[in-house]
Amino acid sequence: AESEEEAIISRFQQYLRINTAHPNPNYREAADFLVSQANSIGLDHQVLEFAAGKPLVLLKWPGSDPTLPSILLNSHTDVVPVEEHKWAHPPFAAHLDPPSANIFARGSQDMKCVGLQYLEAIRRLKSNPSFLPLRSVYLSFVPDEEIGGQDGAGLFASSDVFASLKVGVVLDEGLASPTSKYRAFYGERSPWWLSIKATGAPGHGAKLYDNSAMENLLKSIESVRRFRASQFDLVKSGLKPEGEVISVNMVFLKAGTPSTTGFIMNLQPSEAEAGFDIRVPPTADPESLERRLAEEWAPASRNMTFKFVHKVPVHDKFGMPILTKTDSSNPWWTLLEEAVRKANGTLDKPEIFPASTDARYFRDQGLPAIGFSPMANTPILLHDHNEFLNQAEYLKGIDIYESIIKAYASYVEPTSNQALKDEL
């Protein structure tokens, strides 16, 4: 007979085998699978379609006191595309590689692991009849995170359905950790996707002259690179963590006059364009970055223009950085720390997530949201070839969530009297 561990791993593999990669994610099959899991565990389910063809699965484990704010465990069902032939094992086969017991699959780290670990932890907690949650626990399995999340967590977080859940805290994804300590995230950098364009006089390829489009653009690229190096140096020297510097990476270059064999080689073009993925920490000064952009990276005086392809505000409507507290003023943070410790795990210092996740939609609603994917001793392979998660790490993560969900679902706020005594 199959052992319980084998059954757990085989359910994880089933989820990983559903191809939910963009641009054609099989959301329907993922939703059907998740609903079947909910039924086997005994959780209430709803399949919501805030955007047509993009089902969002919402599960509920009702708490005994529905007046208390609830817990939301969020995960996304979509994954990024793969270059199949560059993988050692097919990315949607969920191959378990002996003797390492690594499970290879797109989504094994980002983030089908987390979605099913939530479910396995609840399956286990539910099997103990003496444990009843005080607070309701919701699980949302949302589409489209990898393409911005507007049609997924975005529509969900601003919906009436969401308001009716009275969510008090959200858990969402984090990152694998190569060390033995788990990582947790209390904020994230804002993406600014920038395109800059230079124009200039065209001319013969043999002529040296000033103000060509290429020269104008190259001056910008040099300036961007100096800035990039200054930020990267802060990380390399250990002065700042990755999430607290501004990253800039050039992601496209577009220039030249096409010919039947490639490009016309003796013509300096009249236009040249470059694109950058910029990530701005919540603690940075967005105005000073805007000034740098207008004055150094795309100055009109050098015949340059710029536009944002996508730009997420760095601050909230009060001009404040959007951060979840990680001190004793946020009981959810303290509870998480304790719960991880109780399950024999260690948390590293909380960090700013270097990229974007759906957590921002929940933080935008004023809710505390913590990014956490329990993967220690694991190389960071999200969006990479040969993404994998070790079986033992996956199982360990379930223990961690069991501890966290138990603590969260049982949490009783100290009465104001008690709070007063604590202060004294």
Ligand X SMILES: CSCC[C@H](NC=O)C(=O)O
Paired tokens of 81: 């595309």
Question: According to the annotation, is 173 in a ligand binding site?
Answer: yes
Short-list 330, 421, 417, 422, CA closest to 367: 330
Does 22 appear as a known binding residue? no
Pick what 310 binds: Zn ion, ligand X, none; C-beta below 5 to 8 Å, kind-dependent: ligand X
| Nearest to Zn ion of 173, 351 (CB atom) | 173
What residues does 104 pair with on adjacent strands?
Answer: 95, 388
147 CB-contact burial (10 Å; exposed 0-12 / middle 13-18 / buried 19+): middle
At 156, which helix (H) or strand (E)? helix 155-157
User: Is 146 known to sit in a ligand binding site?
Assistant: yes
Q: Which two tokens stand for residue 367?
A: 């809710």
CA distance linking residue 403 with residue 167, whole number of Å:
20
Q: What phi and psi, each to the nearest 5 degrees, are found at residue 252?
A: -155, 160
356 touches ligand X by CB under 6 A: yes
Q: Which of 4, 5, 29, 78 is catalytic?
A: 78
Q: How many residues bind ligand X (CB under 6 A)?
A: 6
Q: Which of 148, 203, 275, 299 binds ligand X (CB under 6 A)?
A: 148
Q: How far is the CB of 290 from ligand X (least distance, A)?
A: 18
Binding site for Zn ion (CB under 5 A): 110-111, 173
- Which of the residues 145, 351, 399, 402 is marked catalytic? 145
364 is in an annotated binding site: no
Preceding peptide of 111 cis, ω within 30°: yes
145 tagged catalytic: yes
Nearer to ligand X (CB atom), residue 146 or residue 244: 146
Shortest separation between residue 391's beta carbon and Zn ion, angstroms: 21
Q: Rounded distance, CA 39 to CA 201, Å?
A: 67
Dist. CA 220–CA 254, nearest whole Å: 14
Residue given tokens 């040969």 in the structure block: 386
Query: Judged by CB under 6 A, which of 91, 143, 191, 397 binds ligand X?
Result: 191
Q: Is 310 in the site for ligand X (CB under 6 A)?
A: yes
Binding residues: 76, 110, 146, 173, 383
Binding residues for Zn(2+): 76, 110, 146, 173, 383
Which stretches of the chain bind ligand X, using CB under 6 A?
146, 148, 191, 310, 355-356
Residues recognised as catalytic: 78, 145
